Every structure is written in C-alpha cells, then in structure tokens.
Amino acid sequence: MKKETTDRIIFFDTTLRDGEQSPGAALTSNAKLTIARQLAKMNVDIIEAGFPIASEDDAYAVKLIGREVRGPVICALARCVTRDIEAALKSLESAKRPRLHLFLATSEIHRKFKLSKAKDEIIKIAREMVCFAKKYIDDIEFSPEDATRTEPDFLLQVCKTVVEEGAKTLNIPDTVGYAVCEEYGALIRFLRENIPDNIVISVHCHNDLGLAVANSLVAIKNGARQVECTINGIGERAGNASLEEIAMNLIVRKKYYNVSVNLETRQIYRTSKLVSSLTGIPVQPNKAIVGDNAFRHEAGIHQDGIIKYKETYEIMRPQMVGIPESTLVLGKHSGRHALNLRLNSLGISVDEKTLDRIFQQFKNLADKKKEINDLDLIVLAEQETMPSFEPVYVLEYFHILSGTSTVPSATVRISKKGEIFEDASLGDGPVDALYKAIDRIVKLSPKLQEYKITAVTGGKDAQGEVVVSLVINGMTVAGKGVSTDIIEASARAYLNAVNQFLARKSVIKKRKYRGT
C-alpha cells in the first residue's frame, strides 16, 4: 500500500449542510453562524456551510459564515451544473479559504433512474464541470454520489478523470448507508492504491444500517484521511457519522488507528448541546460520548469500582469531551465573580453585558432552586448566548386551570412591542389550552408537529426543557423553552418558535428586497 502524505485526520463537518437535511431541523442563518463559530472553536478543519442553489437562505448562510468565520476552510456544495457552481462560488466570495464540493451520481441505479445518463456521459459531465470550476477556484472536492453502489472500475475511472482536471479531494460517499465495513474498507484501499498520493481520500457515511461510524473508522484504517461527519450524527434519514464518536475512537484507541486528531475535544459537549438546542433535535440519553448517560454509572459494582479506580469502568474521562465533573457549585448567595469563574472553567467566556444577563437569570433560578449545578449553568449560558433576534412576542403572564373534574383552560398575556394582549381558551389539556390562547393572540394557525419534554438538570427542582416543532404557512420552525415549571417552558417554547418564524420571514423578505 502507498504511504500516506499525512497521518492527521482532516475533520470535515457537514452539520450545517447534510445535518440540516434532518427531518424537522430548520436553522436560521444566525443560528448557522453561531454553530459555525462553535465548530471553529472546536478546531474542525472544514465547515460545509450549505448548498447555495437550494435556497436563498442557504446561499446567505454560506456568505455570512464565509465572511465572519476564520480558521476552518469554508465549503459550499454544488451539483455538476454551471448555475449551481456559480451560486456556490458567489456565496464563497468573502471566504478566506473557500472550497467547492461538487457531486454527481455514478451508480447504475442513479444513472438509469435519476439521471438517464450512460457511463460516458457521466465522465464527460464530471470532466467538464471540474474543468469549468477550476478556472475560478483551486480547492475542489469531488463526490461520486452513491459511490458504494457504483462498479469499482467505473468509480476509479470517474475519480481519475476529476483528478486530471484538478480535484484535490475525492470523497467516497456511502450515500444510502448500504456499505458493510469490510467491503467499504476494501473499496477505500483499492482507490488509495490507484490514486496519486497527493490526493486526499475522504469518506462520508450514512447511518441507515447503524454502521456510519464503523465504516468511517474502517476507511481510515485503509487510507482515508478526511472524514465527513456531523455533530450528534444528525442528517438525512438515519443521519450521518457522528463527529464526536469518530474523534474519540481515534483518540482513545490511538495506538490501533495510529493517526492524529487536531480537535479541541473539550468543546465537544458544548457543541453537541448547542446543535441540539438550535435544531430542536434531542440527543438520545444512551448516545455514545454526549448522551446524558454516557458517563453515568448506575450499577453498585460499577460505582464501587469507579470510586476505587476510575479506569475500572471508564475508558475516557468526561472532562476530555467537556462534560463538567463537579455537580454542586453555586447557590443563592454566590456572586457574579464566582459565576464568571465557574463559567470560564466550563469553557464559556462571555462579555460583561452577557454576564449581567446570565447573572440575572442565575439569581432568578436560585430563588426557585437550592443548588445550581454545572448543567444548569450551561443551560442558562446557552439561552443567553443563542443567536439573538428581537422577539416580536414576549410572554408576560399565564394562568392555568386544570384537574380531573374541570375542563382545562388557560389565560395568557403577551406583549408585542410594549402593547399588551390577553386572551383565553379551553383545551384538551393545559398545554393545549395554552397554545390555543396564544394562537388567538398571534393570529397564526401553527400545526404542532412535535412536542418533547426533558428534564435538563437533576433533582425534583430540575429545569424542564420543552422543544416544539411547528409548521406555520408551510415553514417548519423549532422553538425551545426552559423553566422549572413545565407549563411555562411549554409556553416559552411555543412563543419562541412563533418568533423564529417571524424572524425568518422578515429575513427572507429583506433579502428579496436587497436582491442578495
């Protein structure tokens, strides 16, 4: 096998492109920028910021990220079509280190049923489009879509063609999550042995059979040096390979994989939380690395072992991925300075104004909750550092009547730019009544697609987090609310989603007006 040019793994994060294709995920450009900044903090090498031809919103997000985020390469996706390439290049104009990611399906099933093109036509298009793009941009990545169901010899022919035209990275996607580890490893080895050493071989695995991470790791073992993945493994259908799982496999089993990782892994937990709250997609509790139970030991024998010697049942320390160790830290009498120190030790640094706001929320919470732990603080900081947009509607007051012998009813008071509105409604339950009362005020008819409630901190006085996904006039928006009172969290989540809808609507309107 040929020698690799480098033994460092390039992390290509596609949370904002393939990840955003997850059902129910809808991110505003501001939210995308916030995630991109956090990815840069975590030191990912490449951020795939969007698919500019897909929507005005995507194009704008790529532009915004390219302008604002420094450090990682900023990448935009395009089909092998000139108008896609032009849109992608336009969005990348202000990126300091831009990359164009071109893709074209190569498998027989895609050639026949999707593209109606013969093999020689695929080769011709791939050649022409890489050649066209190369006049404007040097860093080109090419993906033969559905590579794992493509005849290997034809796949190699396509790869050699685009390399001749100047593609520098060859990404081999398992688009439909069909690959088996051994088979995929052998395919990567075959390509590695037949493609010049200076061309990076990348992998991009989907999780339809639950093998996305395993396949990515086998590919690395067989010569791949770039891995495409998403935070929390979100993505189309069953998702993409999870970044945090790949990274920690390579680190914990460094001797086996013999490659290096340049990520700031202590930012993993925070990034996971941020992506989950902005997309509204919760992390399953038993998810490796970032799930709530990933470092919890329940069985007595395990707890005993951990107390005696951590490594009896722990293969990595939670702090390696940024999960806070201590639980009880601050309370009602703690001051602003102590709060700031604790936030810093959690990897959260905020400016004075944001600290003031977090401190105020901290005091409010301390009135309701005796002990405030690190997770509470992360939740508070997250709320206050979320991409800010001026909310149109603000919850002022609500009152609920509910019980076994009464029809649930809700009264809600909401302000809109200082003006107060109040309304009431009956419902099937207290939350239903609340939402109906809000609908009457905001004069929209959202369809509640999803409602999820989780306790985000521990104990009887835990903070509850409600995430809702609404469809309003055909647009899907997610909203989140946190409170020690779950009805209040429900109201806040609903209003947050309504406000997100109004913010997105006005951004789209403004952009149309500006013609960007």
Residue among 200, 172, 204 at smallest CA distance from 188? 172
Nearest approach in angstroms of CB 6 to ligand KIV is 22
Nearest approach in angstroms of CB 510 to ligand KIV is 30
Which residues make Cβ contacts (< 8 Å) with residue 448, sequence separation at least 6? 435, 468, 469, 470
Partner that binds at residue 145, options ligand KIV, Zn ion, none, CB closer than 5 to 8 Å by kind = ligand KIV
User: How many angstroms separate the CA atoms of 340 and 460, rounded?
Assistant: 26
Question: DSSP letters along 114-125, please?
Answer: II---HHHHHHH
What separation in angstroms does the CA of 190 have from each of 36, 223, 349, 486?
Answer: 34, 10, 47, 55
- Of the pair 77, 375, the CB lying nearest ligand KIV is at 77
The answer to whether the beta carbons of residues 456 and 463 sit under 8 Å apart is yes
Q: Strand (E) positions, 299-446?
A: 328-331, 371-373, 393-401, 409-416, 419-426
The answer to whether the beta carbons of residues 125 and 118 sit under 8 Å apart is no
Among the listed ranges 18-26, 63-71, 83-91, 435-443, the one in contact with Zn ion (CB under 5 A) is: 18-26
Chain positions 381 to 440 lying near Zn ion, rule: CB under 5 A, are none
- Of the pair 155, 378, the CB lying nearest Zn ion is at 155
Q: Out of 10, 17, 18, 58, name the contact with Zn ion by CB under 5 A.
A: 18
Q: Out of 29, 150, 175, 457, name the contact with ligand KIV by CB under 6 A.
A: 175
Nearest approach in angstroms of CB 45 to ligand KIV is 17
Partner that binds at residue 465, options ligand KIV, Zn ion, none, CB closer than 5 to 8 Å by kind = none
- Of the pair 200, 433, the CB lying nearest Zn ion is at 200
User: How many angstroms separate the CA atoms of 457 and 469, rounded?
Assistant: 22
- Of the pair 22, 457, the CB lying nearest ligand KIV is at 22
User: How many angstroms separate the CA atoms of 474 and 396, rounded?
Assistant: 28
Q: Out of 143, 226, 230, 361, name the contact with ligand KIV by CB under 6 A.
A: 143
Contact string (CB under 6 A) for ligand KIV, positions 51-80, x = contact = --------------------------x---
Q: Out of 60, 103, 142, 393, name the contact with ligand KIV by CB under 6 A.
A: 103
| 9: DSSP letter | P
Nearest approach in angstroms of CB 169 to Zn ion is 15
Nearest approach in angstroms of CB 240 to ligand KIV is 8
Q: Is 141 in the site for Zn ion (CB under 5 A)?
A: no
The answer to whether the beta carbons of residues 16 and 32 sit under 8 Å apart is yes
Contact string (CB under 6 A) for ligand KIV, positions 178-217, x = contact = --------------------------x-x-----------
Chain positions 145 to 174 lying near ligand KIV, rule: CB under 6 A, are 145, 171, 173
Per rule CB under 6 A, count of chain residues that contact ligand KIV: 10
> Cα 44–46–48 angle (5° rounding)?
120
The answer to whether the beta carbons of residues 228 and 14 sit under 8 Å apart is yes
Sign of CA dihedral 103, 107, 113, 117: positive
Per rule CB under 5 A, count of chain residues that contact Zn ion: 1
Nearest approach in angstroms of CB 77 to ligand KIV is 6
Half-sphere exposure of 78 (CA within 13 A, CB side): 29
Partner that binds at residue 242, options ligand KIV, Zn ion, none, CB closer than 5 to 8 Å by kind = none
User: How many angstroms separate the CA atoms of 203 and 171, rounded?
Assistant: 5
**Residue 234, φ and ψ in degrees, nearest 5:** -70, 160
Residues contributing to the site for ligand KIV (CB under 6 A): 18, 77, 103, 143, 145, 171, 173, 175, 204, 206
